[in-house]
Amino acid sequence: MKLVFATHNKNKLDEVKKLVPPHIELVSLTDIGCFDEIPETGTTLEENAKIKADYVTKTYGLACFADDTGLIVDILNGEPGVYSARYAGETKNADDNMNKLLQNLEGKKSREAHFKTVIALNINKEQHVFNGIVEGIIIKEKKGVKGFGYDPIFQPNGYKQTFAQLPQETKNSISHRGLAMKKLLDFLQ
């Protein structure tokens, strides 16, 4: 089975490829010749995932899934949320995003947060939606070099390391994206 993952993000693609069984050929937007930056104009993670999946299915006629992920910090009224990738601006710079978040949390007592991934799958003329959530805290300084995005400042509950410090296999088994992907793969079985 060939399945398009609607992303240009190599880190995200590599992470997801490790979760997909060999009988599924996972290809990216680049692999199908789509170099467009699909606009994420939704006001929720689910809307953005659906927009991206629908764009690929309508334009290329291929089975496709797209995800949108947000880091939700309770004391900041859910920020950065749907704007996680561009929290510090349209350049989508991870360090700038983390620095802005850490600055906005200065002096705050609560640092509770959760990552949420929503995946929209378009297959056989139907759309299916899968969610994954992982609870944790935002630590005060960056730790670790693995992962991407906010991984160096997100410490999942039950662990003393950030996502950027954990082995990839551990992260994949507990992460928001890993949990949502497990639901998608269970559905495809």
Q: Which listed residue (31, 68, 95, 186) is catalytic?
A: 68
Answer yes or no: is 144 a known binding residue. Answer: no
Which token pair is 145? 């070099």
Answer yes or no: is 97 a known binding residue. Answer: no
117, 178 in Cβ contact below 8 A? no
Backbone phi, then psi, for 128, in 5-degree steps? -130, 145
Answer yes or no: is 61 a known binding residue. Answer: no
Half-sphere exposure of 125 (CA within 13 A, CB side): 0
Provide the strand spans (E) within the chain: 2-5, 25-28, 64-73, 80-81, 112-123, 126-138, 154-156
Element (H, E) at 104: helix 94-105
- Is the backbone of residue 163 left (phi > 0), alpha (psi -120 to 50) or beta? alpha
For residues 176 and 116, give the distance between their C-alpha atoms in angstroms, rounded to a whole number: 6
- CA-wise closest residue to 12 among 81, 87, 78, 94: 94
Answer yes or no: is 111 a known binding residue. Answer: no
Answer yes or no: is 162 a known binding residue. Answer: no
Answer yes or no: is 177 a known binding residue. Answer: yes
Answer yes or no: is 55 a known binding residue. Answer: no
Answer yes or no: is 109 a known binding residue. Answer: no
Answer yes or no: is 128 a known binding residue. Answer: no
Answer yes or no: is 96 a known binding residue. Answer: no
116, 70 in Cβ contact below 8 A? yes
Determine whether 68 is an active site residue: yes
Answer yes or no: is 14 a known binding residue. Answer: no
Annotated binding site for Mg(2+): 68
Q: Where is the binding site for substrate, in residues?
A: 7-12, 69, 148-151, 171, 176-177
Annotated binding-site ranges: 7-12, 68-69, 148-151, 171, 176-177
Q: Which residues are catalytic?
A: 68
